[in-house]
């Protein structure tokens, strides 16, 4: 053991033994994880390209001050762009490249929010004018919605856009301190343009919130335009993390823009200042929303799988206690407590991956329906995507921190990769909809669905199960053995009954209050739980559906089946109060499920390291001394330490001024 | 509303309305929180002293690079020492001063670990030699136990201390890479000495792990002594946080120290190299352990109360949605979901404070017993303090992050204070015993206690309730109304029955395996839950005991009673699966408890802001734009933003090199 570790920086694969124990074809699993052979090929090629490019090194990120980190980001982005052009990468490849460069920057907002906003909300004419400029990056844009005083409540935004019919212009203005735009990424130091959301006023009348394309910096010398005040809003969580991003503050003092720069696809202001709704249905914006949320769920599985990959590999490397007669100590991954904390997260990474893949399908489906002007599934799709965004991001944030703790003290070092992964990930719980606000929207939809059941309206999509109301209210689980908990029908029924009964119980509680609104507000803490139960059911059922597909590769489907049951049964254990209080299962059945769960952990154990190998992450992308593919965690940690700027000198800079005067007692002379 | 916010930097108390609604005497509550009038006076005076000293400003911490932050720390510590001497502060006052300076540094380890190690493990002679040097800081020490390869398993440490009888010296050596000392705070760049834990070898025989005082740096020029390699282990979680600390790596190449530098209070090595146990009982070290854990619990309530203070105040300032007819929007603290997330944390802060105060008493009790050679309560005290360390630190870590989320997007800014509070706090879950390893120790003690119940041995202290085994196994809760859940006896019985039944169920499961050890390992995930249930019971019962004291001040006890029930009933809801599966309560009783909980939240609401005022934190100590006493969160956030180094220039530094070439398309020329 100690001997093996002597090989400093050695190339011996410390995890070879683990890999030889795997009971499935890891290459086949890689394709399943990637989604397709093509997706695998692209990711594999581009991730190696990034990893081998010295400009993209990440290991120095956390010791840089804010300014140096920001310079480093600008440099990387320019280099990324150069490489994309030089290598003539496709859009898919270019997006992947930025994904693997793995450093938040203005680029994310330019491509991910500014351009989609123009595509989604601009007229054809506007798209023709602005999109080519944006695609070539002759302008760089950001998405300026949130203000100091308003985020979740978009309708409360205070920035005004007042139409001046004389000049055929809008006057964009920040009337209060709280109306300052606050948070937009890329705004603080880079963007030349912004889509600004503001309160439309024409003829003295308010007409709600709309988007406007506003130039904010000169294209000549990059200085802010007259009437525009811009800055960065300061450091954020973590050392590197989102500090590479220039989230900004923006104030307008009566800034004029041409009328044509209001995004007018859905609503127009005429030359005379009249407000017209176009015949383009408002619902079209839902397409973009489904798309964005699908990428967030996919990012959740990426972040979670990174954390799990690090924690699984290090748990197989780390040995502590249990040495008998001088033999090697126990690998910490063999402790059942370690397994019960770690394996559900591994299963969740796969579960979120598959529900993310299903959301891609849902997006295609919704797009086709929207084109055919079929809006019937929209409310359900809205609730479903809101709920999945909330569920997967909340779980992932907590899971990254749990993975860090699973690595003991060393997880607290930035060289483990985990602190920065957490810091950069957690805002996903807040942006694109605060997770609690989103769950309340899901709950509202569920309560509505329950209330309409009597009226003969059939619930669709992910709420279809509610159509079996009678059965779900009275069924009792038939699980009577440990093996029964491996039956998809038994698992599904328990999750459906729990979700439905919680929703019905909420609806009943609400009806006891003077008004539905008052009731909804009063029981909203319970509503969150009902919404979560519904969302977990979706993930469980999509995982089960995945298992019904034809999945090639020796042993692959068997592994996925084990992970699926781990996912479901750990939830059953975690939320046991729900299942028992609604009478969906009995305490005896719960004990059987728990026993099955223990047995499933034992089945995951020999495959754990290979199951994270299937993510196919490069050591560069993982950025973790603990998570290295070859398991040489100790030499890597040791080598990383010496790179810290504090180690530039042997005797520390402050010695003469601050340490020597204490040791030599000269600072105390004043007392004598 | 918007108008109020216009007062940039104004001194208007935005929270005056909240404060006027409070139903209790905040000054009396401040004394309860502080523990005594004296403790309040000292904290109040010293915290203001620190807050008014410009050297101690904290607002620039997160934008500094590693080197600058470290310099800043050295400067603050030297200044702190100067002030302590100049003002002739007592030891209590000096400790408080460092607490309010609120920046981890070598001082913490010198005073908190190095000196106590010599006191606890050194002979009288050794104490006489080393303690005066350490107290005057003519030497600066650290505590070097953990190695790259071993933390939790201290018996596995690899550093050797081999006795050389010829020279009457020990040879300290690091035989492997993994034997490198790794983590000790203050080691990397400051300490001149270390207490090094190493494997004692004399006459070719191993004699376990012992502590040795080793000089590591020259007292003349601070360079590492021959044979000593030292460095910093690199950046850690967060931007400021523990990066102000020089956690270090240390390797020895056959370094010689006099025999007299082995800490020999309990075990001696003679001139001849013989190993003798002294007549000082080994158990004495438990006293120090109880002391250290008591401070950790006290730190937990400090960190949790800081986070809760910020989140409560900002939740009262923040308004979002719900404006009717142009009136002000709803304060987010009025949303029941916000309350159900936040108020249990407020209650936990008080609960941990009181259990921490009780631990101080326990420490005195244990010390007296040790002096009288009464070791009978030690195992129970050990389990109790291990469990409370684990419970309070885990809950606090999660709670800080929840408080951050409760602040929406703005909580992600360092100027909210919350990211750094989290980053600096979380290692408490790992150091001084990994929380899971500690819970397993608690579980082991519980299982043992259960197994001895038949033998007539009476369980003591916090396990005394297990003496009522028969009753606890068969009782059913008599709660039959919402009001019944305000009866301490009903709450206590439910928590006792739950804890006991879980422990008994584990003991029964274990007995089904071939050996107790195998059984313990197999069901260890369930054991964690039993241990947690036991620890929660301790906190609940100590809170209830507190309410039986005479507490002066109008309305104070009433508020504490409400918080106590919130604490207990939110746990009952959170762990409902435990209570139901063990048959301690019925689903109907759970529903009544939940209804009571809702009503309790409504009672907390008008007092929430004043309940956090009672912590008496200065704005300096809180370090949060969101948590300011006067509620002027928006002007403060706005002002903080402009201090970021990125705002030093209007046109950003990288513009010419990285942004202009994109906008002007010159980087693409190579393609043409
Ligand atoms: C890293 C990061 C990047 C961002 N990038 C951008 C960007 O590029 N462009 C942009 O425009 N914005 C951006 N944002 C802003 C982001 O969209 C908002 O922070 C987000 O919408 C949350 O809104 P909020 O901050 O107002 O939270 P708030 O709504 O103030 O939330 C505060 C608390 O109130 C609760 N709450 C609020 N309303 C209700 C309710 N009705 N019922 C119950 N509880 C409620 C919430 O649950 C939360 O606990 C970014 C934010 C971050 C952190
Ligand atoms: C900020 C910070 C400051 C520190 N300061 C000092 C210092 O000044 N001096 C010093 O000597 N040390 C210091 N340490 C080190 C600290 O004491 C150790 O990190 C701590 O003891 C945990 O041990 P570990 O890192 O070996 O964790 P490990 O034991 O390696 O834990 C890894 C995982 O294994 C699990 N595990 C381990 N054993 C078991 C078991 N028997 N059963 C089940 N699960 C198990 C754990 O739960 C965890 O999930 C510091 C650490 C930190 C983070
Ligand atoms: Ca930094």
Q: CA-nearest residue of chain A to B425? A: A412
Residue A213 φ/ψ region, left for φ over 0, alpha for ψ in the -120 to 50 degree band, beta for the rest: beta
Please check whether residue B9 touches A, CB under 8 A. Answer: no
pLDDT band at B133 (very low <50, low <70, confident <90, very high): very high
pLDDT digits (tens, 9 = 90+) for B543-557: 999 999 999 999 999
For ligand 1, say whether the CB of A183 is within 6 Å of any of its atoms: yes
**pLDDT computed for residue B669 by the predictor:** 66
pLDDT digits (tens, 9 = 90+) for B206-261: 999 999 999 999 999 999 999 999 999 999 999 999 999 999 999 999 999 999 99
Say yes or no to pLDDT of A1 above 50.
no
Q: Is A18 a catalytic residue?
A: no
pLDDT band at B10 (very low <50, low <70, confident <90, very high): low
pLDDT digits (tens, 9 = 90+) for B603-637: 999 999 999 999 999 999 999 999 999 999 999 99
Site to substitute for ligand 2 among A337, A345, A408, A414, most atoms within 8 A of C-beta: A408
Q: Determine which one of A420, A432, A496, A529 is catalytic.
A: A432
pLDDT band at B324 (very low <50, low <70, confident <90, very high): confident
% of residues, chain A, pLDDT over 70: 98
pLDDT digits (tens, 9 = 90+) for B373-392: 999 899 999 999 999 999 99
**pLDDT computed for residue A2 by the predictor:** 34
Chain B residues in contact with A175 (beta carbon < 8 A) = 2
Contact between B360 and B421 under an 8 Å Cβ cutoff? The reply is no
CB contacts under 8 A, A 286-325 vs B, are 320-321, 323
**pLDDT computed for residue A8 by the predictor:** 44
Nearest CA to ligand 2 atom 3: B183
Chain A residues in contact with B64 (beta carbon < 8 A) = 65
A-interface mutation test, from B625, B646, B649, B666, most A Cβ less than 10 A away:
B646
Of B6, B63, B75, the CB nearest to A658: B75
Mean pLDDT of B43-55: 98
Say yes or no to pLDDT of A5 above 60.
no
Q: Which region among A157-161, A286-290, A395-399, B26-30 has the lowest average model confidence (pLDDT)?
A: A286-290
Chain B residues in contact with A585 (beta carbon < 8 A) = none
Please check whether residue B135 touches A, CB under 8 A. Answer: no
Site to substitute for ligand 2 among A409, A414, A641, most atoms within 8 A of C-beta: A409
Please check whether residue B187 touches A, CB under 8 A. Answer: no
CA-based nearest distance A552→chain B, Å = 34
From the list A515, A559, A568, A563, the residue with the least C-alpha distance to A539 is A568
Say yes or no to pLDDT of A229 above 80.
yes
Question: Which residue has 């407000």 as its token pair?
Answer: A275
Say yes or no to pLDDT of B168 above 70.
yes
**pLDDT computed for residue B601 by the predictor:** 98
CA-based nearest distance A304→chain B, Å = 18
The vertex-B262 CA angle with B261 and B268, nearest 5°, equals 130
CA-based nearest distance A323→chain B, Å = 9
Q: CA-nearest residue of chain B to A248? A: B641
Of A86, A138, A239, the CB nearest to B663: A138
Instruction: Please indicate whether, in this complex, the C-beta atoms of A238 and B335 are within 8 angstroms of each other.
Output: no
Secondary structure (DSSP) of A95-108: HHHHHHH----HHH
Of B70, B419, B577, the CB nearest to A236: B419
Instruction: Please indicate whether, in this complex, the C-beta atoms of B654 and A71 are within 8 angstroms of each other.
Output: yes
pLDDT band at A668 (very low <50, low <70, confident <90, very high): confident
Instruction: Please indicate whether, in this complex, the C-beta atoms of B412 and A242 are within 8 angstroms of each other.
Output: yes
Distance (Å, whole) CA B33 – CA B551: 11
Dihedral (CA of B638, B411, B99, A415) sign: negative
Q: Which region among B180-194, B319-333, B548-562 has the lowest average model confidence (pLDDT)?
A: B319-333
**pLDDT computed for residue B609 by the predictor:** 98
For chain B, domains (ranges, CATH) are 112-280 (2.40.110.10), 286-613 (1.20.140.10)
Mean pLDDT of A146-171: 98
Contact between A651 and B75 under an 8 Å Cβ cutoff? The reply is no
Please check whether residue A413 touches B, CB under 8 A. Answer: yes
Distance (Å, whole) CA B669 – CA B666: 5
**pLDDT computed for residue A3 by the predictor:** 34
Q: CA-nearest residue of chain B to A317? A: B149
Chain A residues in contact with B529 (beta carbon < 8 A) = none
Q: Which region among A1-10, A103-112, A563-572 has the lowest average model confidence (pLDDT)?
A: A1-10
* Binding residue ranges of B: 146, 185
Please check whether residue A405 touches B, CB under 8 A. Answer: yes
For ligand 1, say whether the CB of A184 is within 6 Å of any of its atoms: yes
pLDDT band at B283 (very low <50, low <70, confident <90, very high): confident
Secondary structure (DSSP) of A304-332: HHHHHHHHHHHHHH-B-S---TT-PPPBG
pLDDT band at B670 (very low <50, low <70, confident <90, very high): low
From the list B292, B296, B300, B361, the residue with the least C-alpha distance to B545 is B361
Neighbours of ion ligand 3 (CB under 5 A): A 239; B 239
Give the pocket of ligand 2 (CB within 6 Å): A 318, 320-321, 332, 335, 337-338, 406, 408-410, 412; B 109, 143-146, 151-152, 183-185, 242, 247, 427, 430-431, 434, 436-437, 440
Instruction: Please indicate whether, in this complex, the C-beta atoms of B409 and A335 are within 8 angstroms of each other.
Output: no
Mean pLDDT score of chain B, rounded to an integer? 95
pLDDT digits (tens, 9 = 90+) for B478-489: 999 999 999 999
Say yes or no to pLDDT of A635 above 50.
yes
**pLDDT computed for residue A572 by the predictor:** 98
Contact between B354 and B406 under an 8 Å Cβ cutoff? The reply is no
**pLDDT computed for residue B108 by the predictor:** 97
B-interface mutation test, from A111, A525, A597, most B Cβ less than 10 A away:
A525
Say yes or no to pLDDT of A23 above 60.
yes
- For residue B438, the ligand closest to its alpha carbon is 2
Give me ligand 3 centre to Cα B49, in Å: 28
From the list B160, B149, B213, the residue with the least C-alpha distance to B182 is B149
Of B175, B581, B647, the CB nearest to A576: B581
% of residues, chain B, pLDDT over 70: 98
Mean pLDDT of B29-41: 98
| Ligand 2 atom closest to B432 (CA) | 17
Q: Which region among A325-329, B135-139, B358-362 has the lowest average model confidence (pLDDT)?
A: A325-329
A-interface mutation test, from B10, B525, B672, most A Cβ less than 10 A away:
B525
Report CA A242 to chain centroid distance, whole Å: 14
Say yes or no to pLDDT of A383 above 90.
yes
CA-based nearest distance A29→chain B, Å = 29
Say yes or no to pLDDT of B9 above 90.
no
| Ligand 1 atom closest to B332 (CA) | 34
Give me ligand 2 centre to Cα B151, in Å: 5
- For residue B245, the ligand closest to its alpha carbon is 2
Say yes or no to pLDDT of B456 above 90.
no
Number of C-beta neighbours around residue B303 at 10 A: 23
Instruction: Please indicate whether, in this complex, the C-beta atoms of A335 and B521 are within 8 angstroms of each other.
Output: yes
B666: exposed, middle or buried (Cβ count in 10 Å: 0-12, 13-18, 19+): exposed
Contact between A498 and A492 under an 8 Å Cβ cutoff? The reply is no
pLDDT band at A670 (very low <50, low <70, confident <90, very high): low
pLDDT digits (tens, 9 = 90+) for A24-72: 999 999 999 999 999 999 999 999 999 999 999 999 888 888 999 999 9
Mean pLDDT of A289-299: 93
Nearest CA to ligand 2 atom 24: B151
CB contacts under 8 A, B 90-119 vs A, are none
Mean pLDDT score of chain A, rounded to an integer? 95
**pLDDT computed for residue B323 by the predictor:** 81
Say yes or no to pLDDT of A669 above 70.
no
Give me ligand 3 centre to Cα A393, in Å: 25
B558: exposed, middle or buried (Cβ count in 10 Å: 0-12, 13-18, 19+): middle
**pLDDT computed for residue B454 by the predictor:** 87
Report CA B297 to chain centroid distance, whole Å: 6
Distance (Å, whole) CA A69 – CA A60: 9
């Amino acid at each position: 053991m100690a001997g093996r570790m002597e090989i400093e920086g050695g190339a011996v694969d410390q995890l070879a033994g683990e890999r030889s124990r795997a009971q499935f074809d890891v290459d086949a699993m890689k394709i399943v994880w990637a989604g397709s052979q093509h997706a695998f090929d692209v990711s594999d090629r581009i991730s190696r390209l990034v990893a081998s490019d010295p400009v993209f090194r990440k290991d120095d990120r956390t010791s840089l001050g804010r300014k140096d980190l920001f310079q480093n980001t600008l440099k990387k982005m320019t280099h990324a762009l150069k490489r994309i052009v030089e290598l003539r990468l496709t859009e898919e490849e270019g997006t992947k490249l930025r994904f693997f460069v793995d450093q938040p920057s203005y680029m994310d907002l330019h491509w991910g929010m500014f351009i989609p906003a123009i595509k989604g909300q601009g007229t054809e004419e506007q798209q023709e004018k602005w999109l080519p400029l944006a695609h070539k990056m002759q302008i760089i844009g950001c998405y300026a919605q949130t203000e100091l005083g308003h985020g979740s409540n978009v309708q409360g935004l205070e920035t005004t856009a007042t139409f001046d019919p004389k000049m055929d212009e809008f006057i964009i203005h920040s009337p209060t301190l709280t109306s300052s735009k606050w948070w937009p990424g890329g705004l603080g130091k880079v963007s030349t343009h912004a889509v600004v959301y503001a309160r439309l006023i024409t003829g003295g009348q308010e007409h709600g919130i709309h988007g406007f394309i506003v130039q904010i910096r000169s294209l000549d010398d990059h200085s802010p335009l007259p009437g525009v005040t811009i800055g960065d809003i300061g450091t954020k969580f973590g050392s590197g993390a989102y500090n590479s991003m220039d989230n900004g503050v923006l104030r307008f003092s009566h800034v004029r823009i041409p009328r044509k720069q209001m995004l007018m696809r859905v609503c127009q202001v005429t030359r005379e200042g009249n407000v017209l709704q176009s015949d383009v249905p408002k619902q079209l914006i839902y397409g973009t929303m489904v798309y964005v949320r699908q990428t967030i769920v996919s990012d959740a599985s990426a972040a979670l799988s990174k954390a799990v990959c690090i924690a699984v590999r290090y748990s197989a490397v780390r040995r502590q206690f249990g040495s008998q007669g001088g033999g090697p100590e126990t690998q910490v991954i063999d402790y059942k407590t370690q397994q019960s904390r770690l394996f559900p997260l591994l299963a969740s990474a796969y579960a979120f991956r598959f529900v993310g893949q299903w959301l891609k399908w849902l997006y295609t489906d919704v797009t086709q329906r929207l084109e055919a002007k079929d809006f019937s599934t929209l409310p359900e799709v809205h609730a479903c995507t809101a709920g999945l965004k909330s569920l997967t991001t909340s779980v992932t944030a907590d899971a990254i921190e749990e993975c860090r703790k699973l690595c003991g003290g060393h997880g607290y070092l930035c060289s483990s990769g985990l602190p920065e992964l957490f810091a950069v990930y957690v805002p996903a719980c807040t942006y694109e909809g605060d997770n609690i606000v989103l769950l309340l929207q899901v709950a509202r939809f569920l309560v509505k669905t329950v209330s309409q059941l009597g009226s003969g309206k059939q619930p669709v999509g992910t709420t279809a199960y509610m159509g079996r109301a009678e059965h779900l209210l009275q069924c009792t689980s038939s699980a009577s053995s440990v093996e029964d908990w491996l039956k998809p029908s038994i698992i599904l029924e328990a999750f459906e009954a729990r979700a439905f009964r919680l929703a019905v119980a909420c609806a009943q509680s609400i009806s006891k209050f003077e008004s539905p609104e008052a009731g909804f507000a009063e029981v909203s803490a319970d509503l969150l739980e009902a919404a979560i139960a519904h969302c977990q059911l979706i993930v469980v059922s999509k995982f089960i559906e995945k298992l019904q597909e034809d999945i090639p590769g020796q042993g692959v489907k068997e592994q996925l089946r084990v992970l699926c049951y781990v996912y479901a049964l750990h939830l059953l254990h975690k939320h046991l109060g729900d299942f028992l209080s609604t009478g969906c299962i009995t305490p005896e059945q719960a004990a059987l499920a728990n026993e099955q769960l223990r047995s499933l952990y034992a089945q995951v154990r020999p495959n754990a390291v290979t199951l994270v190998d299937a993510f196919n992450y490069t050591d560069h992308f993982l950025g973790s001394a603990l998570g290295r593919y070859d398991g040489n965690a100790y030499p890597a940690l040791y080598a990383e330490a010496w790179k810290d700027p504090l180690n530039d000198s042997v005797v520390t800079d402050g010695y003469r001024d601050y340490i020597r005067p204490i040791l030599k007692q000269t600072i105390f002379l004043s007392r004598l």
